[in-house]
Amino acid sequence: MSSQNPLDSHHQDLSSRAMDYTVSSGRKFFGSLMTTLVILCVAIAILPLGSILFMLLKNGLGRLFQDFPAVFTELPPPPLVDGGGLRNAIMGTILTCLIGSLISVPVGVLTAIYTVEFGQGNKLSQFVRFCTNVLSGVPSIIAGLFAYGVVVLTMGTFSAIAGGVALSVLMVPIIIRTAEEGLKSIPREVRQGLVGIGATTFQGVFSVILPAALPFIATGVTLALARAAGETAPLLFTALFNQYDARSLREPTATLSVLIYNYAITPYKNQNELAWAAALIVVVLILAVSILARSFTKRKVY
């Protein structure tokens, strides 16, 4: 940075014109240059978002409205066949996310209860927090390979269950963190009151603390769902894909995100269109959920 010079010249300024303090033109120029640069940075950072949202609307909206119910109710067509919809993929996304949260919500919330209520910042809870943060940095494809090794190889088949397990690995850190925040937001007076009336931690947590921390936990779950709904890599080798409806949890299952991947890289126009429509659905879903999650914590309980 060319930042030492202005201060030097500043010194000379001061000595020559004792009390008259003005900022030299060089320093002013440096300031306006940097201000322009950071505004440019913001513009560049927001440009891709604008472009992505615009293209999603432009390429996805038409298909969504053109054959309105069909996109949601029909199966994806084979190559070179027109029409079709995303029924199995929508169901699959809901299903895998549901299984993911069935695993990750209890595990995440109970872990947070240990670190905040029982552990109270001891060495073990610090270690758990460290592991949580490191776990949240594990690449999503590794979570997929993990679920492949643990679930798919054991069950002998690709399935929605394996997909859900892979997603739960990615959801757990988010849920632990937000649940911890929620539990910590309960004022100390409430805990002291619970001790005063002779409640055990178990009774206190389930009768008072958890209900009060619920908005935070709800935020965590929705944020985790938003992440899971868009994940593709962990599902590639776990839920795999299915041209048709999965008839049970033990079958390969189509999901919106894997469908986007498969259909975006084909040369067929109809499949590309379906990929855009699916992408629009996923992004709208995720944006809605993220905004919803913010509104949970806005109205604070305490």
Partner 1 sequence: MTSEPISHSESLVESSQRFRAPRLINQIFRWLTLALAVGIGLVLVWITYSLLSIALPAIAQFNLGFLFTQVWNPVQELYGALPQIYGTIVSSIIALIFAVPLGVGVAIFLSEDFLPRRVLTPIAFLVELLAAIPSVVYGMWGIFVFIPAILPILQGVHKAFGWIPFFSTAPSTRQMFATGLVLAIMILPTIIAISRDSLISVPPQLRQGAYGLGATRWETITQVLLPASLSGIIGSVMLALGRALGETMAAAMLIGNANRVNVSLFAPASTISALIANQFGEASGLQKSALFYQALILMVLTLVVNMLAEVIVNRFQQVE
Residues in region 219-258 near partner 1 by CB under 8 A: 226, 229-233, 236-237, 257
Among 52, 102, 214, 301, binds partner 1 (CB under 8 A): 52
Q: Which is nearer to partner 1, 34 or 73 (CB)?
A: 34
Shortest distance (Å) from residue 148 CB to partner 1: 8
Find the shortest distance in angstroms from Cβ 117 to partner 1.
8
Q: Give the nearer residue to partner 1 in terms of CB position, either 91 or 142.
A: 142
Chosen residue from 55, 61, 155, 214 binding partner 1 by CB under 8 A: 55
Using CB under 8 A, which of 12, 73, 203, 295 touches partner 1? 203
Site string for partner 1, 16-45 (x = CB under 8 A): -----x-x---xx-xx--xx-xxxxxx-xx
The footprint of partner 1 on residues 65-124 (CB under 8 A) is 107, 110-111, 113-115, 117-121, 124
56 interacts with partner 1 by CB under 8 A: yes
CA distance 95 to 89: 10
Residue from 69, 156, 198, 267 binding partner 1 (CB under 8 A): 198
| Ranges of H-type helices in the chain | 4-16, 25-66, 68-73, 87-113, 123-136, 140-147, 153-155, 160-184, 188-196, 201-204, 210-230, 233-236, 256-264, 269-298
Q: How far is the CB of 9 from partner 1 (least distance, A)?
A: 11
What residues contact 2, with CB distance under 8 A and at least 6 apart? Answer: 30
> DSSP assignment, residue 75?
P
Vertex 105, ends 103 and 111: CA angle to 5°? Answer: 100
Which region, judged by CB under 8 A, interacts with partner 1, from 52-60, 62-70, 90-98, 211-219?
52-60
**SS3 readout for 76-142:** CCCCCCCCCCCHHHHHHHHHHHHHHHHHHHHHHHHHHHHHHHHCCCCHHHHHHHHHHHHHHCCCHHH
Quote the CA–CA distance of 157 and 154 in Å, as a whole number: 8
Residues in the interface with partner 1 (CB under 8 A) total 100
**By CB neighbour count within 10 A (0-12 exposed, 13-18 middle, 19+ buried), where does 67 fall?**
middle
Residues of this chain, 268-287, that bind partner 1 according to CB under 8 A: 272, 275-276, 279, 282-283, 286-287
The residue within the footprint of partner 1, chosen from 137, 156, 300, 302 (CB under 8 A), is: 137
Q: How far apart are CA 185 and CA 215, in angstroms?
A: 11
Are the C-beta atoms of 128 and 112 separated by less than 8 Å?
no
Q: Which of 48, 69, 156, 267 binds partner 1 (CB under 8 A)?
A: 48
**Residue choice 81, 131, 214, 301 for contact with partner 1 (CB under 8 A):** 131
